[in-house]
Structure 1
Amino acid sequence: MVIDIADVWKTYRMGTQEVHALRGCSLGIEAGEYVAIMGPSGSGKSTLMNVIGCLDVPTSGTYRLDGRDVGRLTDDQLAEVRNSQIGFVFQTFNLLPRQDCLQNVELPLVYAGVGRAERKARAAEALTRVGLGDRMDHKPNELSGGQRQRVAVARALVNRPAILLADEPTGNLDSVTSDEIMRLFEQLYRQGNTLIVVTHEDDIADHARRVVRLRDGAVESDTAVVSPRLGALTEAELEAAEAAA
């Protein structure tokens, strides 16, 4: 099991009050799953995302990521885990405007101390993988919204992480471009990636194979998606969608 969360509480102190963002949350995710995490505002989904992504640690309970107890890691170890094992895709693309696509995708490898030649080769491979092999020297303002999000996905993939964690990845995109990005996620899932998408939109969650709903800081339901929206797409259709993008 790549993610094993057991009875996790996350408590924040605000003045004299304690706010329990997670209340005994338990969740297990196997390698290669495609999971959507949903819930109303205040349900704890953002806090759970931060815990899964090692951006925060539990107040109590245990979180094991690929067998490692995250709560026992130092800040430096947590930073290393974030850079090597987790790829992040956010609603705001967070691209550097003065850098081209290749340089943006290279950035995590710079932090990891990877040599220049290998950085460029791996960044080019990641961009090709998301269908932007012919846009490597373009800057973000020369790309569409969907293409910019594809660059963000390539950057998340470049370190070959165990988990791709996406927080409202289509929130700034129109419906057509959102579908393009979800088709890309479908392709990544079929290639064996572990995908976790945090969303409040049912039509985005419908692309996953499993939907976890939170309420009041705990798991309210955990159900398989019987007929995912892209489940019937053939590999040829996926390749055609990538080529069109």
Structure 2
Amino acid sequence: MRPFEHFTVRTTEEAIELLGRFDGKARLIAGGTALIPALKADIFPNYPKALINIKEIGDLQFIRAGKEGLRIGTLTKLEEIAESQSVKKDYPILQKAALSVGTPQVRRMGTVGGNICQEPRCWYYWYPHQIGGRIVCYLKGGRHCYALTGENQYHSIFGCYREANRPVACVEACPASTDVPSILEKLKGKDLQEAARILLDVNPIPAVTGRVCPHFCESECSRNGFDE
């Protein structure tokens, strides 16, 4: 692994202060069952300058059952969820889900928050940098999601992935920023009226522009690497 600074905090305020100090170049760590392997594989485009250990924040580790339902703190271990009598009694599916994660050693260290926030479990995203070079997939700023037609045994792929503050390739290429994936989705569902509404929101004269459009969306389509 590359060198980094390590801080242990005992309050959320300390953690927030450190995150602000490093301005997006620090990562939180608790159990570390997902983060440490990711650091060893060097999969991050931007390696963190610091790790902020939050496992000493006691206020975030709890299981509370009440009239309004079940509340679980983000630092609660998976093992604690699996062994909780209240979870076992009233939320047996949750208990079974916790038991299904990893090995006993992983469940003893891994937290529910860490499992929710961990990096995508994709073979291409996790491909070690030191073995043949990093695969620049869509999640790493590339143009293609190789899992669409590649190895995706443990994936759930719902439509076109949209990263925050970053449009998909065809939308980015369109001079009018037409939401092509949404239009295609509506057309697939035979909702012509909604498809037309999405188009007309950004292009009030599609019959005219369509005649002169150079079809940038087609040349930049993320499916070009897989099919016609």
Range into which the TM-score falls when normalised by the shorter chain: under 0.3
Task: Choose between structure 1 and 2: higher strand proportion.
Answer: 1
Query: What TM-score results when the alignment is normalised by the length of structure 2?
Result: 0.26
Q: Which has the higher contact order (CA 8 A, sep 6+)?
A: 1
